[in-house]
Amino acid sequence: MCIMELESVKYSYDGRKNILKDVSAKFETGRIYAIIGPSGCGKTTLLSLLGGLDSPDAGRVAYQGEDIEHTGLANHRKKNVAFIFQSYNLIDYMTPAENVALISKLPPLPILQRLGLTREEAGRNVLKLSGGQQQRVAIARALASDAGVILGDEPTGNLDEDTAEEIAGILRESAHKMNKCVVIVTHSNAMAKQADEVLRLKKGELITVR
């Protein structure tokens, strides 16, 4: 099922060259997408439009068929999407369990264990976890939310390639088993390999590579 769609989206930062020229794409539930492309090509910009952090100059961004301008961007951010950042963005005076409990009524432990944390690690202060473990917590938090779409901006950018591959595998499995739509901007080959579909952004155009 198509959950998010970009329809002829155009975007530029005031008067400068077009960052996005005429971008259309469909994103389905239960699938993981990798968006690749050179630095500065507009990947973060594209993700911010999907996440309702900004509006396109022309065209439409739709969630379950509804233009997110109509939903309201703040509503869209709150209900429909969850973000995973390169820098984890966890609340650092809390434990993983408390971080997950903040955004979900589900018991946090099963989802943290599913992502490979032990019961002891789930109760530890997040700053006493490795980068890979902190990113697992950020993913658990996104998965525990009601959001149908998970957006990641280089979520493995701070991790070594082996850990990146493991995290990519977790995201892939989560998309498939929990029926989430996962859209990841990445430089990592390991991450792109795990994606069901790879899209390349180049010179303002988005092309399906595989």
Ligand X SMILES: Nc1ncnc2c1ncn2[C@@H]1O[C@H](COP(=O)(O)OP(=O)(O)O)[C@@H](O)[C@H]1O
Binding site for Mg ion (CB under 5 A): 44
Binding mask 18-47 for ligand X (x = CB under 6 A): -x-----------------x-xxxxxxx--
Q: Is 107 in the site for ligand X (CB under 6 A)?
A: no
Q: Is 93 in the site for ligand X (CB under 6 A)?
A: no
In terms of CB distance, is 38 or 110 closer to ligand X? 38
Q: Is 184 in the site for ligand X (CB under 6 A)?
A: no
Q: Is 195 in the site for ligand X (CB under 6 A)?
A: no
Q: Quote the least distance from Cβ 17 to ligand X, whole Å.
A: 8
Secondary structure, 3-state, the chain = CEEEEEEEEEECCCCCCCCEEEEEEEEECCCEEEEECCCCCCHHHHHHHHCCCCCCCEEEEEECCEEHHHHCHHHHHHHCEEEEECCCCCCCCCCHHHHHHCCCCCCHHHHHHHCCCCHHHHCCCHHHCCHHHHHHHHHHHHHHCCCCEEEEECCCCCCCHHHHHHHHHHHHHHHHHCCCEEEEECCCHHHHHHCCEEEEEECCEEEECC
Q: Quote the least distance from Cβ 61 to Mg ion, whole Å.
A: 18
* Number of residues this chain uses to bind ligand X (CB under 6 A): 10
- Binding region for ligand X (CB under 6 A): 13, 19, 37, 39-45
